Amino acid sequence: MSSISMESPASLGWIGAGRLARAVAARARDAGAQTVAVASRTPAHAACLAQATGGEALDAQGVADAADWVFITVPDDAIAAVAQRVRWRPGQLVIHCSGAGERDLLAAAQRAGADTASFHPLFLFAGLPDDADRLGGASVAIDADTPHDAALASFAQRLGCTPLKVRAGQRALYHAGANYAASFLLCALHEAATLWQAAGIDRDAAVAAMWPLVDGTLAAARARGLAGALSGPVSRGDGGVIDKHLHALDALGADHAALYTALTRRALALAAERGAPPADVLASLARRLDAPQ
């Protein structure tokens, strides 16, 4: 990882030493930010992250006592409980990294006089050795009051990331969208492998076969935009192929046809955005989706 300079970094503390904390703390270390303390319900994890970042393994209260900025990087359902258990101090910045949670998860810290913020990297933390390296270039959704909003945006930039602003009260909607770009993408690939297996293709061979298709799609989307990269029967106005797909999926049972129909409606929206095929063709395709199979 390349070294990134950071002017006057605050001292950092981490309550939670999982995948996110390990990757962000590593980039922060290389950006010149000082981690002073780490806590985890698994002491070995705290010790490992503390050793990697030059901090000290302590309990949650010890982290709060030692650090100016405290990142609470525990599972979402535990954030409020952690904030409630710790004694915070005025002027301290307490930050959670939940994608769906609002800042009210940190209400206990705010009542104690601390400032609060959320800092959610849009990144799939896989627990791989190069997570910290690959984090560079990711976006980070930030919610904080002045002047911490600017300070956290600067912090994100110095990590090599791009700050994003999410309107207050809309984080659940934002995080639902993030699921489509991450976990739901995996679900779509799982569906593809399942259909190919039902067609008689060995599942391992099916998974291996999808990567050139996936890589090509993502490359086209980067180069031409989402609407510009659209391919398949909707992009060609090929209603007959859609009918064949729906008949085959309906025969397969379960919810395969329903999922295909929902995603095809999104493809129609992309095609409309692109302006091709013409609107009357797209309307005809939409009617096919509503017709009984």
Q: What is the pLDDT of residue 110?
A: 97
Q: What is the mean pLDDT of residues 206-227?
A: 97
Question: Could you give the angle at the alpha carbon of 56 between the alpha carbons of 50 and 59, nearest 5°?
Answer: 100
Q: What is the pLDDT of residue 8?
A: 53
10 pLDDT tier (thresholds 50, 70, 90): confident
Residue 9 above 90 pLDDT? no
DSSP-assigned letter for residue 205: H
Q: How do residues 24-67 score in pLDDT, each as one tens digit?
A: 999 999 999 999 999 999 999 999 999 999 999 999 999 999 99
pTM of the predicted model as reported, rounded to 2 decimal places: 0.86
Q: How do residues 228-271 score in pLDDT, each as one tens digit?
A: 999 999 999 999 999 999 999 999 999 999 999 999 999 999 99
Mean model confidence pLDDT for the chain:
94
Share of the chain above pLDDT 90, in %: 94
Q: What is the pLDDT of residue 226?
A: 97
Share of the chain above pLDDT 70, in %: 96
Q: What is the pLDDT of residue 7?
A: 47
Q: What is the pLDDT of residue 1?
A: 43
Q: What is the pLDDT of residue 168?
A: 86
Query: Which segments of the chain does DSSP mark as H helices, in order?
Result: 19-30, 43-53, 60-66, 76-85, 107-111, 131-135, 148-158, 171-181, 183-198, 203-228, 233-236, 239-252, 256-274, 279-290
Using alpha carbons, list the distances in angstroms from residue 171 to 75, 79, 83, 256. 16, 15, 19, 30
Q: How do residues 136-183 score in pLDDT, each as one tens digit?
A: 999 999 999 999 999 999 999 999 999 999 988 999 999 999 999 999
